[in-house]
Structure formats: C-alpha cells, structure tokens
Structure 1
C-alpha cells in the first residue's frame, strides 16, 4: 500500500473482461484492487495515478481532485470507467452524468484503505480478539484518505467461505452493486468504508456462497437492530456518558461471594407492560429498593425475533432488543440502577441460536456458527442450532460477546443459560443420535474449553463481575477455578434444592413427614459448589403454576406455606433469587403475553407476603451470619435435621465472629407449643424474625418475643429452650445477652 491510500502496481495493464464482469456482478473478492486509486508504472518508466470507478449506465464520469484538477474517465466495459493523471494521488469525488440529464456527485468508497489493521487481523485469525465488536460490524469513524479525514461508516463481517460480500440498505436502495466488500487476506473478514454515511441507517449484508446463491443476512455483530418483526441492522453510535464510576470502583474492590446477594429476576416486557428502558428506571428502582433486593436479573435482553421465546433464541447477540428503546436507553437504565445501589445481572445464551434464514444459520452459505454435523449442531428440544464451540472464530464471537455486555453496558454479572446442554454431547439425544468426543465420551470438550475461556477472561478483564451457571446436573467443578480444572463460574444455580424443596412443599403437611429428606438433602452437598438458590421463571410457567398455587390447603394456608418457605430459603446457605410476582403471591402462572396481577398485592394476605419479602431482605442484609460464610461449612450447623415426625428443621448460621443466628421452621399444620430446641449457649434469646407475624398475614399465636436458654443439653447443643412455633412458620433467634 502506497502512502495516501493509493495502491502501487508495476504495470498499467487494464482489467480483463472477466474481471470487469465480476466487478459488475459484485462477485469480485477484492474490488479495491481494481477500483479506486492506484499508482502504476507505464511504458518508459513513467508513474501515473490511475482512477477506476464502477458506474453502470453512466454517460460520463469525471474524478474531481481536491487540488482542483479533473480527471476524465473512459468506459472500459461492464460499467467500469478509467482515467489517469501524472499527478500524485489526491482525495477526489466522482461526478457522474446520466443520459436523462441527472448528475450524481459522490465520494468513492474504493479509494480508502482498510479500516482494520494488521494486529486486528492477526487476533481475528487466532480467534483472540477480545474486543471483537470494535472491529466487526458497522462503525462511524473519520477515516483517512490521502490528505484529510472523511466521516463515514465502516462495515466488516466474518464470512470465510463467501465468494463475495456486499452491503445493502436504504442508502443504496438495497442494491449492493456499488458497495462490494473486499476480502482481507486469509482472515475470512470482509470490509468496506462508505464515506459520509451516518448513524441510524439500516443495513444488511448480501453474501454469495460457494453455491453461487446470494443470501441477505443481518449483521452478527450489529449493535442495534430494527424493532421485530423487522430484521435489519442499524448503524449505531453511542452518545451516553456513564455516571457510575464509584459503583464500578467499589465493585472491583469487593467480592459477592462474601456479601449478601438477593436477586429479583424479571422479564422486562411483562413486569409492567408498556415501559421502555428509560421509563422503567424510576419504577423499577423504587420497587426494588422497597423490597431490599441487592440485584436485578433481566431475562435475556439481546435481540430476538420471537417474543414468546422470552429472549432465549437470540439473533442479535450484540444488540439490546429494540422493543424497549435504543442501546443508550438501556445504558441509562443500568446507570440509574447502579446509582441507586442496585446491581444488574443479565441472562446470556451461548448454547444455541434459532434457524432464521436472515440470521446466523448457514451464514456464508454453509454451516459457520453452527457445528456442521447435526449430531452436534442441532438442539432438538428447542428446534435451534448449536454453536461450533471448537471453531476459533465462533469462540471469539462468544467470548467477546460476554465481554461486550460487561464493557459496553457495565453488567455486573452474566447468568449463563442451559449450561448442561452445552456440556453433554448426548443432551436430550437417544442412542445413535450423538457423536462421542475424541476419547469416546459424552463430554463436549470444546464447550468445556469455551466456558473456561469465557469465565477466566471475564474475571481477568472485569474484577468484581460474577459469572453464574444454570447447570442442572452434578458436573464436577462448575464453580472451581479454571486453573484447577473447573469451569470457573462464581455461582451455580442449585436446581436440586429447588426441585426437592418444591416437591416437599407440594405435599399436604400431614404427609410431609414421609418426605423429610427432600427438605434437608441439599445440606449434604451445599458446599460442593458455590450456590444460588433459584425460584425462577422456569418454575412458574408451562402448567407448573405459581409459587402460591403449588402449596396445599386453603388460601390462607397457601400463603403461610410460602412465607415459611421463603424464610427457610433466606436462611439456607446460598445466595437468593426470586422471580417477579412471587414476592406478593401472584396466583396465576406467569405469561409473557400479559403483565403481573399487581392488583392482588393490595389484598391483605398478599400485601403481607410483600412485606415479608422486604423484611427478609432487610434481615438478611443486616445479619452477616446469613451470608458471610455461605461457601464454607463452618457457617452452618444442624440442630435438628431429622425431626420429620414434627415436620421441623432447625439449624444455626454462624458469622465470621462466631455470632449465631438460630433458625427453626415448622412445616407442619399444627402449632408446636413447648417444642424444645437446642441452643449453642445459655442466656436470653430474642425472636428477630417470625414469618407468622400479623404484619405478614399471620395469626400471631400467643407466645413471647424472648426465650431463656437453659443449661439443659439438647440436640447435641449445650443449652435449650421450650418454644412456641406456630404452624407453617419460621423463627429466627439471636442472643440478647
């Protein structure tokens, strides 16, 4: 490449007819090598500047240089025009006259050098470009020509098997004949700079496969998209100025592992329908602060075409869904949440993607993002495609995408969806329907490697961010460090706890004694991983009913069951997650097609459950014993694990200073008066929380707020007291002396 953006050639040979034809048809893989401005040597050793332009149907074409000279171009054939000058290369525009009298004056995209540098191409070829979104996709920029910078937009896309690529949009009436991209060496990346194009324009790529079929595709790295059902990408330029520097600094210096973490999970479209990102900010902040959750978790916000997929079938991995506003609107929402002291978690879906023909599927005419073998490349449960985790370009796409949400949107954590579907080659497959790994096993070694790379890279680049796995099996080491052979996640959803305890609660209290192991079994493995306890959206859809609806008994008993259960959950080792609506006892199961039944939160019993949720979070955050040693067995001690005859569990939570909080939960349908409970010390004990309080809709059975710990050993403890524990209720006790 010569200085000034003009290429140098040793000959002045004109393009062959085949080359002219390929330029006219848009099938030339390097149009810049022919079109644009080139310095060439003619007979006799004279150097000239040759200008070639593609202007089909033109009557006359002239290049007007910035130095004031004009270079007439002659028609070579197939709409390609050529002219030359003895002058050195200069910036220029093309004046094109047509037979009907119309004149078009425009800059020439083919006179500009590539916008990607050698280091970018090297990192892309290795699959190690950690800021992939800064080089692929569309970007507004001032790009250098010969003597000056020109504003415009660069387009680049990874399509290694494509024969040709062009960009189309309203700016060229969806005809890409004049806007072909060039292939940049062997990187598989195609690129072009379109001068004077501005943000807000819609576009797609047209890709010619090796089968000679053109396919029109949305940009995989588009940072903004049209509102579904429209599918085009949008040129985006952020103007947002973040205000959360203090939040990020505090986050980087702290650890969520030894801090209280209670998460309010929500689906933004149905939380309060009609709210955009900006409109939701005030209402969501007020509500979450009222309830005392430390974090919100948004179900996927990456662009997806099918609303009932809830965002779990993603087509725009780098584009926040336009259903709720622009990317800067989402930045505003997250910034406001941070300013209010609320962290933000986001569902991330690297396991599969939909088959829509305009999106990632067969992107360059062949399997590219998906594994080519359907035994590994198709997810039969969801009718989707599975990423080719062993392809360096695909790995780069996914690793960089995780970083993108952390860097561009200041996300505090990613909850990785359906990890089990990635880890096992035989996931939901019968005999003969899956392909073993190189060792003959069922483990997807490429997916394991990818997950390790994602978690390690996120933690390296963004200290304080938390990676969370939704992993439903007993895979060993999900939250173990990658340098010790683990997957490297910070937390894992405890699906076993959720399934066991909900199965237990579904029984009528008179039969629960036969299923006591369901409520206690989670403590047998509670420290095998770092857990978060989830009552998520998956438990309140598809006929499963709401949390209240799962409970037996009268409406009052159902609510009492939920209160006792949430109190048990908040005292159990592990972080907490509750899906929207369960905090006030939504009666109907959730549907993304309508909002929550907010009206019911005004009913006394449901208003009480809302108050209980807020008080549980307040008690949780103010009691280090409930979170400080979550990931160590030294923070938990059973008092009575096997009192199934009374449907009672009791235990101690310890903090780092060995200060105890005693928890007792009566899951039976009768009050237990005079129930003897072992205590770790003598003296006065106060009831700091009771799920049966009248404030929550309980009936406040007669009792005392404080209890005397006697020097009477019980349940392996040195002291004990006789309690009144109301039916379907939980008590938290702490020493007062």
Structure 2
C-alpha cells in the first residue's frame, strides 16, 4: 500500500478547476473512484463539510476508517482504498455526522438500448426511464435521476439534501443523446428537487422542475418531489375486465365533465380545494346518482397558478398537488371504477406554459418548444402558451409516454385530446403526431378512449389510421349543441324561420363518431349561463333548458354535460369559486336535476337510444318540415330492439291531436315527458301512452295522435323502460 504522504495520490486531474467553479460537464472524470494500480484514489467534493473520512470494508470482514485529505479550502477531499474495495463516506457537518455511499462510485445506469429508443422517440415506458426513480443499486437504496438537456454545459440535481448547491451533485452526460444521469444514494420519496442547468453560454438558467416528475409541490411553490415507486393498490379488476364492452361504439356513454377545484370548495371557501380523497367521497356518489357513465376531468396535471385552468400543463406526469399526493388521485379513479364509472382526462399535447421554472427554454434553448424569444425576455404573466416542437422525436416520445402513463399507471379510461390551441403552421406536425399517438395507444391500451376536440385538418378523425384516418375513438361535436342553443335563443314565435338550421345538423350526424358537448369554455366567466340565454320568464327558461337536454339525449352521438348543467345554474361558471350548490334544491333546479338523472338512466336502458349512435341506420326523420308549429319528430332505431319516437314542440303552445306516423301497430308508451310535473313542468301529456291507428302518414302505415306539451319533448316506445 502507498504511504498517506505520497504526493502522487493527491495530484489533481485536468478539469478540477472547472469542477470547483461549477462549470464542469464531466464530474465523473474527477470525482469518485479512479484506479492507480494497487489502490483506487477516491475524490469527493463537500465544500461545507468539516471533515470527510473513508469507511472501508476489510477483506477479512468488518470496516476500517481512513481520513481523507482536504485540498486547501476548495472543499475537495482525496483519499485511497485498496483496489476494488467497497467504501462509504463518513461526513462531519456543523450540525451532525452523516454516513453515505459515494454517488460517484456508481456506474452509468441507463442502457445503450434505452438511450437509442429515447432519441428515436420509441422508448416503451419512457416515464420509467427518465425523471427521478427510487431504486436499489448493488443493494444500496437511492434515487436515479435522468434528464434531457443536450445543449447544457453542466446539469446538477439540487434539493434540500444538498442545500440547493449545484456544485454538489453534477450529473454524468450521455453525449450521444444529451441525457444527464446520476444515482444519489440515501434519497427516497418525499424529497424536493430541481435541476440546475448551465447553458452553452455559461449562464445558469432559472432552476427547472423535472419534466418527467411524478409529483410536485403545491403551487405557487415550484419544486418537483420524488414520488413512490411501484403500482397502486387497485381493486378495479371487474371494471378493467369489462371496460372494452362499456366503451364500445354501441355502448351508452354519458360524461359528467368537471373542473375539480371549482366543483365544490370545502366550506365554500374559494381559498380551499378538496383533496382527491374528499372528491372521491363527494363526487363519485353525485355522478352515480345522476346516472352518468363517466366522469370527465378538465386537466388534472400540474399547471401554473393564476392564468390557467390546467389547459397549459407544467407537469404532464403528475396530478396537481393542489388536491394532495398522487396516490390520492389513484384512489379517486379506483372509487369511480368501483361503482361502474369511467374516468376521462383532458390531455394537452400541443402547448406549454412560458413559466421559467418549467419546460420553457429548458437547457437555454428552445428544446421542447418551437423556437421563440427567450422566456426571460418576456413576461410569464402574459400567459402566452408555447407550441410543442413535434418535429423532434424526443418530444413526441415525451408526450406519448405521458399519455400512456395516465392510461396504464392510473388506469384512466380515456383522454380528451385538446388541440384547439394548435398553431396553423404546425398542423401537419400535429396530424402526424396524432396518428403516431393513437397507434401507440391502440397497441398498448386498446380498450381506452381517445377523443379529439378540434384542431385537426380534414376528415377521417375517427377513421382507423390504417385506413388513412387519425384513429380517434370519438370527436367532440360542439356544432350541434351550439346550433340547438342558438335556435332556442330565438323567441318561440320566430323559431320556425330557423327550422332548417336544426335539420342541417342531421346531415353531419354520422360524418364522424361524435360526442355531443356544451363545453366549459362556453360557460365561463363573462359568458352567460346556458339558462340565462333563453327567452321568457323563469318557467319558460327552465322548460327550454329541459328541451335542450332531452333533445340532445335523443340525438345520435354520445353525451357530455359540463358540471352544473344538471341543475340549471343561473350564473356563469367561475373557476375561482364553486358551483352554486345553494340553488340546486330550489324547485325548478331540483326538477331539472331529477330529469337529467332520468334521461341518463333512460338512455342506458333503451338500446335504440344508444346502440345506433354511430351508424346512420340508428336515426330517421319522421317530421322535418313542420315550420308552422316548430315541431320536430324522429325515430331512433336498433335492429334487435323496439324503436323510440322523439317528439319536440319548440313553442309554448300545447299541440292537441297532433298526428305522427309510426312503423308498427300497437300501444306506444310515453316513456319520457320533459313537461312532467316532477321536472317542474305543467304536466301536459298523453296519460302514459297512446294506441296507434291504421292509416298511412309520414311514410309509415300507422299513426299516433298525440298531445304535445308546451316547450316539451316526448319519448315514446312500444317497449316499457327496462322490459
């Protein structure tokens, strides 16, 4: 063994000065273990330590300690161990002693195959490769960090564990792909961390949260948090087994869309937010009682404070800490599945926030985003989103990994892909990416829903990719609900002049597979509430809202209602407040709420109302030309079940002895009446049903003579509900 005063042991290698001043991009060439024949020289850098000692495993068993020499006042310590011997570090700080393994004694952990897949955008389970992951290496527990910053000169992990000092844990660069990695022993879940990045010009960019973080601090704090590893404790085997059937084109799908923070506030306090577990306790019974098949969440990903509803995500891999730890979100999904409710998330792949602690200008360049002015030259308060650079395979892989993570790790049942912020000049990139995304989901999670919400050029949105389409399960249809709303905003005496606007909607009803929706964007802030847009006194406005809902629930297409529409709020949605629950039990609101639940249950119970949602044979006009009376009638069909006749009287006048053609002789049950007294209506109807008469009208050989209620919708069928 060499003598401890052998000066050759303490000769510092080239690059040490850069390490000391925080500009070294190759810390493993200096720190850690380096063989010198019979011994390994060990160098460590702890500028705030009082002393550092080596704890060396003896060949005959046990441990021995040896002092390390501090090199001047640099914070660099040098010692030696027998070649290949195991060692730990005993560090004396001002407030105690720490014993730990040396982070720079561990080899690179990412395989060449993983690096190759990352750079090509094809990495399976990319979220398990990148980011911060607790693991054991050679029986040593710690956390492996990996981050993509190809243009950086130096990247370090910083956190409470190293007093946010970027000199303490500089990372190893894998130069072929621009990934930096390090294994830090002794760390575990719950630790806060960020990345300190020195850009190519030698400037430290604002400290960055981890793009792949699974957990984050509660905003406005901005650090990432090391999450737990492993799967969540699921109890939803029955749901997952049956999910493909529940989400098929011919299944009844009704979505209750909500913004989780403003659905309900604890004690009504706008400063408070329900936890994921509190939402599970309150929201799940509400959605179940209302008869919806799915809960659809506006983005739950971590997002900036102040100017975003979550539509410009900061953390594409972590549920917002505003509602508690990520495991709580998993319990919410599990609770939904336990009562037969699916979960759909809004997912935003085409824009990023300009917040300086996020992905923007991550390594000093436009890395994830298209080139733009440097973020620190503009005000983040503008809230101007950046466009993702989908021309880079690494960015596409990052986004696809996010989508698959929500579907696989959190058992989410579908994603509503919001593309409305897509810049026109990037449409081709978006189109190619959407096909790639949908092919990946179809391969990995074939029973998941992927829903488009606009922004794509051309047709074929819901056509399979192999047939030249985009491969989505469904597309949002805002045109039909908006067209109906506009029609109903007219005074009833003039609605006949706009009759053709409703008829025109049927021409496009099957051009794609649709979900009919009145979205949150048409309900927020200065936008009037849906109820307040309709003319007349309170009774007429509520009756018109009942027409709106019952018309859409009978129209071909799956259904989506934004939170609150089930009890007809008279004020606009305020994302900083909560729904006006104090009005939900008032007479007319309670009637609408009861009707919405009955519509959902009827839609599920009558195959003719849902099985033909996506096929032209499921719909046929019966009366499309009665502009004088503003009456519409159509039939919903299913080959194996009784058809349902829908009658809509768009005026406040009762229509007596109204003749309508039907395809079959027999008794037609009145299975739904939006004017029922229980719903707040006047109770005008047909006493439970009518017997058809044998004469030809409207192309059918039989007719029913009906009383049409004022501002009312009737559903009639020869089968009783549930029979």
- 1:716 to 1:57, Cα distance in 2 relative to 1, 3 A: closer
TM alignment of 1:229-308, pairs within 5 A: 229-237=220-228, 240-252=232-244, 255-274=247-266, 275-308=274-307
1:206 maps to 2:196: yes
**In structure 2, what is the Cα distance between the partners aligned to 1:473 and 1:514?**
33
**In structure 2, what is the Cα distance between the partners aligned to 1:623 and 1:657?**
11
Counterpart of 1:22 (choices 18, 22, 26) is 18
Alignment partner of 1:602: what SS?
coil
Structure 1 position 84, deviation (Å): 3.4
**In structure 2, what is the Cα distance between the partners aligned to 1:101 and 1:258?**
67
**In structure 2, what is the Cα distance between the partners aligned to 1:500 and 1:420?**
19
Alignment partner of 1:409: what SS?
coil
Question: Is 1:112–1:193's contact at 8 Å kept on the other side of the alignment?
Answer: yes
**In structure 1, what is the Cα distance between the partners aligned to 2:602 and 2:155?**
59
Q: TM-score, length-normalised on structure 1?
A: 0.90
Aligned position for 2:411: 410
Structure 1 position 60, deviation (Å): 5.4
**In structure 2, what is the Cα distance between the partners aligned to 1:202 and 1:57?**
20
**In structure 2, what is the Cα distance between the partners aligned to 1:563 and 1:522?**
20
1:569 maps to 2:552: yes
1:324 maps to 2:323: yes
**In structure 1, what is the Cα distance between the partners aligned to 2:307 and 2:700?**
53
Structure 1 position 688, deviation (Å): 0.8
Structure 1 position 704, deviation (Å): 3.1
Aligned position for 2:122: 128
Structure 1 position 15, deviation (Å): 7.0
Deviations 1:434-463 (A, max 9, x none): xxxxxxxxx622211111111121121112
Structure 1 position 711, deviation (Å): 2.0
Question: Is 1:304–1:315's contact at 8 Å kept on the other side of the alignment?
Answer: yes
TM alignment of 1:133-172, pairs within 5 A: 133-144=127-138, 149-172=139-162
**In structure 2, what is the Cα distance between the partners aligned to 1:190 and 1:15?**
27
**In structure 1, what is the Cα distance between the partners aligned to 2:465 and 2:659?**
47
- 1:373 to 1:601, Cα distance in 2 relative to 1, 3 A: closer
Structure 1 position 392, deviation (Å): 1.0
- 1:648 to 1:29, Cα distance in 2 relative to 1, 3 A: same
**In structure 1, what is the Cα distance between the partners aligned to 2:455 and 2:538?**
32
**In structure 1, what is the Cα distance between the partners aligned to 2:97 and 2:166?**
20
Deviates more, 1:517-526 or 1:287-296: 517-526
- 1:474 to 1:394, Cα distance in 2 relative to 1, 3 A: closer
Question: Is 2:673–2:685's contact at 8 Å kept on the other side of the alignment?
Answer: no
Question: Is 1:663–1:730's contact at 8 Å kept on the other side of the alignment?
Answer: yes
Aligned position for 2:85: 90
**In structure 2, what is the Cα distance between the partners aligned to 1:103 and 1:294?**
57
Q: TM-score, length-normalised on structure 2?
A: 0.92
**In structure 1, what is the Cα distance between the partners aligned to 2:493 and 2:10?**
93
Aligned position for 1:222: 213
Deviations 1:619-651 (A, max 9, x none): 100001111011110111110122222111111
Alignment partner of 2:364: what SS?
coil
Counterpart of 1:189 (choices 157, 169, 179) is 179
Deviations 1:313-367 (A, max 9, x none): 2111111101111100111111011001111011111121110111111000010
Aligned position for 2:3: none
1:109 maps to 2:103: yes
- 1:323 to 1:101, Cα distance in 2 relative to 1, 3 A: closer
TM alignment of 1:553-702, pairs within 5 A: 553-657=536-640, 659-701=642-684
Structure 1 position 515, deviation (Å): 1.0
1:119 maps to 2:109: no
Question: Is 1:331–1:409's contact at 8 Å kept on the other side of the alignment?
Answer: yes
Gaps of 5+ in 1: 1-11, 41-45, 426-442
Question: Is 1:546–1:586's contact at 8 Å kept on the other side of the alignment?
Answer: yes
**In structure 2, what is the Cα distance between the partners aligned to 1:381 and 1:95?**
49
Alignment partner of 1:81: what SS?
strand
| Aligned length in residues | 695
- 1:96 to 1:309, Cα distance in 2 relative to 1, 3 A: closer
**In structure 2, what is the Cα distance between the partners aligned to 1:285 and 1:84?**
61
Question: Is 1:228–1:323's contact at 8 Å kept on the other side of the alignment?
Answer: yes
Question: Is 1:130–1:399's contact at 8 Å kept on the other side of the alignment?
Answer: no
Structure 1 position 555, deviation (Å): 0.4
Aligned position for 1:428: none
**In structure 2, what is the Cα distance between the partners aligned to 1:82 and 1:544?**
68
- 1:677 to 1:135, Cα distance in 2 relative to 1, 3 A: same
**In structure 2, what is the Cα distance between the partners aligned to 1:642 and 1:59?**
91
Structure 1 position 50, deviation (Å): 2.3
Structure 1 position 94, deviation (Å): 2.2
Alignment partner of 2:44: what SS?
strand
- 1:423 to 1:255, Cα distance in 2 relative to 1, 3 A: farther
**In structure 2, what is the Cα distance between the partners aligned to 1:273 and 1:639?**
47
TM alignment of 1:75-86, pairs within 5 A: 75=70, 78-85=74-81
- 1:18 to 1:594, Cα distance in 2 relative to 1, 3 A: same
Aligned position for 1:43: none
Deviations 1:255-290 (A, max 9, x none): 431100001011111111132110121221211111
Structure 1 position 102, deviation (Å): 7.5
TM alignment of 1:331-480, pairs within 5 A: 331-372=330-371, 383-417=384-418, 419-422=419-422, 424-425=424-425, 444-471=427-454, 475-480=458-463
Counterpart of 1:51 (choices 32, 42, 45) is 42
**In structure 2, what is the Cα distance between the partners aligned to 1:528 and 1:575?**
14
- 1:624 to 1:62, Cα distance in 2 relative to 1, 3 A: same
- 1:63 to 1:473, Cα distance in 2 relative to 1, 3 A: closer
Alignment partner of 1:689: what SS?
strand
**In structure 2, what is the Cα distance between the partners aligned to 1:392 and 1:79?**
41
Alignment partner of 2:351: what SS?
coil
Question: Is 1:238–1:327's contact at 8 Å kept on the other side of the alignment?
Answer: no
**In structure 1, what is the Cα distance between the partners aligned to 2:246 and 2:561?**
24
**In structure 2, what is the Cα distance between the partners aligned to 1:281 and 1:96?**
46
Question: Is 1:478–1:488's contact at 8 Å kept on the other side of the alignment?
Answer: yes
Counterpart of 1:178 (choices 156, 168, 172) is 168
**In structure 2, what is the Cα distance between the partners aligned to 1:423 and 1:214?**
31
Structure 1 position 373, deviation (Å): 5.4
Alignment partner of 2:566: what SS?
coil
Question: Is 2:158–2:193's contact at 8 Å kept on the other side of the alignment?
Answer: yes
Counterpart of 2:27 (choices 12, 15, 31) is 31
Structure 1 position 702, deviation (Å): 5.6
Aligned position for 2:5: none
Deviates more, 1:512-521 or 1:218-227: 512-521
Alignment partner of 1:176: what SS?
coil
- 1:221 to 1:101, Cα distance in 2 relative to 1, 3 A: closer
